[in-house]
Amino acid sequence: MRRPVARNLTVLAVSAAVVVSAGAAAPPTAQRTGGEKTPLAVGYGGAVSSVDRDASAAGLEVLRQGGNAVDAAVATAAALGVTEPYSAGVGGGGYFVYYDAKSSTVRTIDGRETAPLTADKNLFVENGKPVPFADAVSSGLSVGTPGTPATWQTALDQWGSKRLASVLKPAERLARDGFTVDETFRSQTASNETRFRYFPDTAELFLPGGRLPVVGSTFKNPDLARTYAELARKGVGALYRGDIGRDVVDTVNKPPVDPASGWNARPGDLSERDLTAYRAKLQAPTKSSYRGLGVYSMAPSSSGGTTVGEALNILERTDLSKASQAEYLHRYIEASRIAFADRGRWVGDPAFEDVPTKELLSQRFADSRECLIKDDAVLKSPVAPGDPRDPEQCGSGGTAAPTTYEGDSTTHLTVADKWGNVVAYTLTIEQTGGSGITVPGRGFLLNNELTDFSFTPANPAVHDPNLPGPGKRPRSSMSPTIVLDRHDRPVVALGSPGGATIITTVLQTLVGFLDRGLPLVDAIAAPRASQRNAAQTELEPGLDSGVRKQLEAIGHSFKANPEIGAATGVQRLPGGKWLAAAETVRRGGGSAMVVRPVG
């Protein structure tokens, strides 16, 4: 690998930067007990980090019972289906990245939802025009074949040590006995209250007594507890070939809408054949090299691995450890802008599209794109894509296409065990609240994942790789990532929710940790900027006003975004210790836990 070359950054004022090597010792911490969350924990025996305390505790319970990282990840994910039902659950899908300590290899599962086998490119077209986005979301049209249960079973079959029935027990208990409503759950319910009332089963479950759930009250979901119990007894075939699946099909094709609401809940066309045909796909990860480390993530159908990897390759030539804050952010924003331009042109479901994954991740292509970045100016968006198959120095091929919208919900969990295995798992039902449609008597919401497709070509002049098709997986931005050292040992694993901002959140957190020397919890907490080949860069509060002025002076334009992403991660420390880190504030803070804490 070529060593990073410090660029001549002439325009932005240079300021001092604190430089600490990646993997430096983290500050000591004590894991608190009781009901509050803690975003940082260090200790032995394995680690779990998620957005929710009850979910992290479910994973920790499995680790303490001798389960491995895969077992604990499935347990944590199932518990998130209870406490984070608007972000993930049985009715959704996701991407699972696994590091196997015995073989020192990384493997992945594509558990993305699929379009019905009857779908075509006009899935979201009516009378020659695209269906309004909000109308499409809360409808049967938006629901893809769920991939989450198949992902759980595939992961357990391949790498787990426990049966599905065993790892579902904590989540089944949590759904039956209930969890304490917090402000995040209440506010997410409130933001969906209008459309939840369109669907009587959703309103009955999530608006108990016709009202918003009260902070501090106990929320129970007995229907979901029974669904988990059925999956435990019968296996995931209960969804893909059984009664649960038939209920899903009926709900999608005849959405149970309140006639008095006046809502036109367009029917879908999901069939039992779609469910029986579904497979979670075992596939190789993406791999890129950064500062001598191996960065592994999800290959298409997700664009996460290729886009994060390309941006890192673009940044490879700049010594970000010596750059000022403004210089670093300028480079990071511009690398993101370029990588998103290429993502939009080239990435789709590889079962349907010729995706040049290897070429997108080549250093040669990144170098041909990196030369577009100037020290004293900002690229005008949208930037046109390059051609990774035939890179031209500073070249662009064709016309730019805008980045299509993706829901900003989703959730992420990261797990490590005492044997050194690691899981980074991002799962979703798409928007907060998904389609808004609850399967009657089953206790879970259905996804609206198919709205991640382009409704019509993003750029009519260029082939759009993300149009719907029969059994096709919509493009995703989920970026569960594991970084290995030169000896193929874990350095850090992380991921985030946030729609298309997932890519920039993972990228910025990695750069903060690997280049800027931030402890992992601080790299997660740092104010975020997200540039996705748009005229303006989204920016969280908290960035130093002087730094912002320096960036605006050379042409950057910002718009406020109060919250971008909600990352979690784990870091391997010397001597068999693990550090778990989560958000300090976003989504009410995250929950980091270890089996045996040390102060």
Q: What is the pLDDT of residues 446-498, one digit of tens each?
A: 999 999 999 999 778 788 999 999 999 999 999 999 999 999 999 999 999 99
pLDDT for the residue 214: 96
* Residue 145: Cβ-neighbour burial (10 angstroms; 0-12, 13-18, 19+): buried
Going by pLDDT thresholds of 50, 70 and 90, the confidence category of residue 94 is very high
Give the residue-averaged pLDDT of 24-46: 64
pLDDT at 19 over 90: no
Decide: 124 and 135 in contact? Cβ < 8 Å.
no
pLDDT tens digits along 254-307: 999 999 999 999 999 999 999 999 999 999 999 999 999 999 999 999 999 999
Catalytic residues: 410
Can you spell out the DSSP letters for 547-561? HHHHHHHTT--EEE-
CB 82 within 8 A of CB 64: no
Please determine, for residue 583, whether its predicted confidence score (pLDDT) is greater than 80.
yes
| Whole-number pLDDT of residue 406 | 60
Q: What percent of the chain has pLDDT over 70?
A: 92
Mean pLDDT within 224-249: 98
The token pair at 476 is 């995703």
Mean per-residue pLDDT of the chain: 92
- Give pLDDT, residue 125: 97
Q: Which two tokens stand for residue 146?
A: 């769920």
pLDDT of residue 460: 82
pLDDT given for residue 12 in this prediction? 37
pLDDT at res. 29: 32
Cα dihedral 518→520→524→526 (10° resolution): -20
Alpha helix (H) residue ranges in 126-271: 133-137, 148-159, 164-167, 169-177, 183-191, 193-196, 200-206, 222-234, 237-240, 243-253
Range name among 37-51, 355-369, 407-421, 549-563 with the lowest pLDDT average = 407-421
Q: Which CATH number fits domain 40-283+404-597: 1.25.60.10, 3.40.190.10, 3.60.20.40, 3.40.50.2300?
A: 3.60.20.40
Give the per-residue pLDDT at 529.
97
Dump pLDDT digits (tens) for 519-542: 999 999 999 999 999 999 999 999
User: How high is the pLDDT of residue 35?
Assistant: 60
Amino acid identity of residue 35, one-letter, is G
Q: Would you say residue 398 has pLDDT above 70? A: no
Rounded CA Rg of the chain = 23
Residue 441, sorted as left (phi over 0), alpha (psi -120 to 50) or beta, turns out to be left
Contact status, residue 114 vs residue 314, Cβ threshold 8 Å = no
Place of tokens 């939009």: 344
pLDDT of residue 489: 98
Contacts of 232 (CB under 8 A, 6+ apart): 164, 165, 168, 169, 172
- Whether the per-residue pLDDT at 319 is higher than 80: the answer is yes
- Rounded to two decimals, the pTM is 0.93
Strand partners, 424: 97, 414
pLDDT of 88 over the 70 cut: yes
Question: Whole-angstrom Cα distance, residue 411 to residue 335?
Answer: 25
Using pLDDT thresholds of 50, 70 and 90, give the confidence band for residue 13: very low
> Which DSSP letter does residue 263 get?
-
